[in-house]
Amino acid sequence: MGTALITGATAGIGLEIAWQLAQAHHDLVVVARDEDRLNQVATELHQLAGVGVQVLPADLSAAAGRRAVADRLRQSQEQAADATPAATPASSGAGGRGPRTAAQVAVRPVDLLVNNAGFAVGQPFASGSIEQERRALDVMVGAVMELTHAAVPGMVERGHGAVLNIASVTALTAMGTYAAHKAWVRTFTEGLASELRGTGVTATVVNPGLTHSEFHARAGMEEGAWPGIAWLRAEDVACEALAAVRRGQVICTPSARYQAVNAALRLSPRWLVRRVAGHASVRTRY
Ligand SMILES: NC(=O)c1ccc[n+]([C@@H]2O[C@H](COP(=O)([O-])OP(=O)(O)OC[C@H]3O[C@@H](n4cnc5c(N)ncnc54)[C@H](OP(=O)(O)O)[C@@H]3O)[C@@H](O)[C@H]2O)c1
């Protein structure tokens, strides 16, 4: 089985993706800022799902954090091959009797990059802080671009691999800079998928609607402000996202409800989208 690197793997959609990949016997590299939480997640994945997990703490809003993760993604096949003989058959998951150790995972090339980390900007643009805008842009656009750029050449060289980017249904709206970042992720992924056609490497973008996670509480929003019907479960979003990756599907919008929302957004005149999105942005503070 392969190795997947997931950003934002300690909560919500990223944590669910981690568990579902672990259940499918993929080794993992988990990235987030909170190191204690990363270690706890890694221990549970290792003990309960029997996979190898490398913990890579990094703040993706900082250049040094993005560089550390990019360096890990550039791990070449040659380096991995050099390191493989050191692993004893008994301790090397695939073909051995136990899961790989973190050190063994740390030298394996990444076959699946999941760009998932993100957060609500949580302020109006004009009166908000430019530092917060910069952090959001760096995590939801800068990191997606830099990590994908680091990962893809090795995947192409090896003739297989996948990039999974988490955007949002808001990508088709006009809900502040958050929607602009997610529109970038969506368009970027479509372009990348076209560029990579025939290489054995795929790119998939997922556009979740409202999903139960820590996302809203972190931005001081109440989940109760929206009706129950509007909510998706993170496990369902993760499941649909990974199924789309397996099919090599470029765009995935989880749930029939949000596929209908997506279709309505595409067909509506932009003045109407702006009007509705304007009301929604005041309420959501995305
Ligand atoms: N929930 C929704 O309704 C919804 C809808 C559409 C799209 N999305 C998108 O789905 C993705 C996942 O969101 P979620 O709902 O699962 O959020 P979540 O539950 O709040 O989880 C966010 C994850 O990202 C990590 N993270 C945040 N800032 C980071 C940074 N600067 N550097 C590294 N890691 C960072 C967090 O860990 P640390 O705090 O330890 O760093 C955490 O692991 C995001 O891209 C979000 O925009 C969410």
pLDDT reported for residue 222: 87
Express each pLDDT in 184-223 by its tens digit: 999 999 999 999 999 999 999 999 999 999 999 999 988 8
Write down the mean pLDDT value for the chain. 92
DSSP the chain: --EEEEETTTSHHHHHHHHHHHHTT-EEEEEES-HHHHHHHHHHIIIII---EEEEE--TTSHHHHHHHHHHHT--HHHHHHHGGGS-TTT-TTTSSSPPPHHHHTTSPPSEEEE-------S-TTTS-HHHHHHHHIIIIIHHHHHHHHHHHHHHHHT-EEEEEE--GGGGS--HHHHHHHHHHHHHHHHHHHHHTTTTEEEEEE---SBSSSHHHHTT--GGGS-GGG-B-HHHHHHHHHHHHHHT-SEE--SHHHHHHHHHHHHS-HHHHHHHHHHHHHHH--
Rounded to whole angstroms, how far apart are CA atoms 235 and 21? 12
Which of 7, 13, 165 has most ligand 1 atoms within 8 Å of CB, for mutation? 13
pLDDT at 93 over 50: no
Confidence of residue 280 (pLDDT cuts 50, 70, 90): confident
Strand partners, 54: 29
Query: Which DSSP letter does residue 232 get?
Result: B
Residue 201, beta-bridge partner list: 161
Q: What is the pLDDT of residue 97?
A: 62
* DSSP state at residue 211: B
What pLDDT, in 10s, does the model give residues 108-166? Answer: 999 999 999 999 999 999 999 999 999 999 999 999 999 999 999 999 999 999 999 99
Ligand 1, atom 23, lies closest to the CA of: 8
Atom of ligand 1 nearest to the CA of 37: 40
The atom number, within ligand 1, closest to the CA of 38 reads 40
d(CA 123, CA 126): 9
More confident residue, 118 or 278: 118
* pLDDT score for 278: 74
The architecture that CATH gives domain 3-284 is: 3-Layer(aba) Sandwich (3.40)
pLDDT at 279 over 90: no
Residues with CB under 6 A from ligand 1: 7-14, 32-34, 37, 59-61, 116-119, 139, 166, 168, 208, 210-211, 213-215, 218
Tallying the residues shown for the chain, one arrives at: 286
Vertex 120 angle, CA 115 and 122, to 5°: 155
Task: Report residue 75's pLDDT band, with 50, 70 and 90 as the boundaries.
Answer: confident
Answer yes or no: is pLDDT of 90 > 70: no
Strand partners, 204: 164
- The whole-number pLDDT of residue 89 equals 31
Residue 117 amino acid letter: A
Summarised one tens digit per residue, pLDDT across range 217-272 is 999 988 888 999 999 999 999 999 999 999 999 999 999 999 999 999 999 999 99
